[in-house]
Amino acid sequence: MSSNKVTAVVISPETSPQTHEDEHVHAVYEQIASHFSSTRYKPWPIIAKFLSSIPPGHIGLDSGTGNGKYLPLPGPSSPMIGLDRSRNLLKIARHAGSQSGIDSDLFSTTINEVVQADVLNECWRAGVFDYAISIATIHHLATVERRKRAIQTLIQAVSPARGRALIYVWAIEQDGLSKRVIPGQGLPRENVGQDVFVPWVLSTQKTKRQMQTAARTDPDAVKVTEKDEITEEPNKVFNRYYHMFSKGELYELTMAAAWELGLAIGNESEYPARLGIEIMQCGWERSNYYIEIRRWRG
* Listed range (84-88, 247-251, 261-265, 269-273) with the worst mean pLDDT: 269-273
Domain boundaries, the chain: 15-173+243-297
Please give the pLDDT value at position 190: 64
9-33 mean pLDDT: 95
Distance from C-alpha of 154 to C-alpha of 43, rounded to nearest angstrom: 21
Q: Is the pLDDT at 4 greater than 50, yes or no?
A: yes
Whole-model pTM? 0.86
Please give the pLDDT value at position 290: 98
Reported confidence tier of residue 260, pLDDT bands at 50, 70, 90: very high
Coil, strand or helix at 264: strand
195-212 burial: b if 16+ Cβ within 10 Å, else e: bbebbbebeeeeeeeebb
Q: Is the pLDDT at 101 greater than 90, yes or no?
A: no
pLDDT tens, position by position, 157-184: 999 999 999 999 999 998 877 777 777 6
- Determine contact, residues 220/230, Cβ cutoff 8 Å: no
- Determine contact, residues 240/200, Cβ cutoff 8 Å: yes
Reported confidence tier of residue 42, pLDDT bands at 50, 70, 90: confident
Please give the pLDDT value at position 180: 76
Distance from C-alpha of 230 to C-alpha of 269, rounded to nearest angstrom: 69
Reported confidence tier of residue 224, pLDDT bands at 50, 70, 90: very low
Residue type (1 letter), 249: E
Q: Is the pLDDT at 209 greater than 60, yes or no?
A: no
Q: Is the pLDDT at 211 greater than 80, yes or no?
A: no
Q: What CATH superfamily is the domain 15-173+243-297?
A: Vaccinia Virus protein VP39 (3.40.50.150)
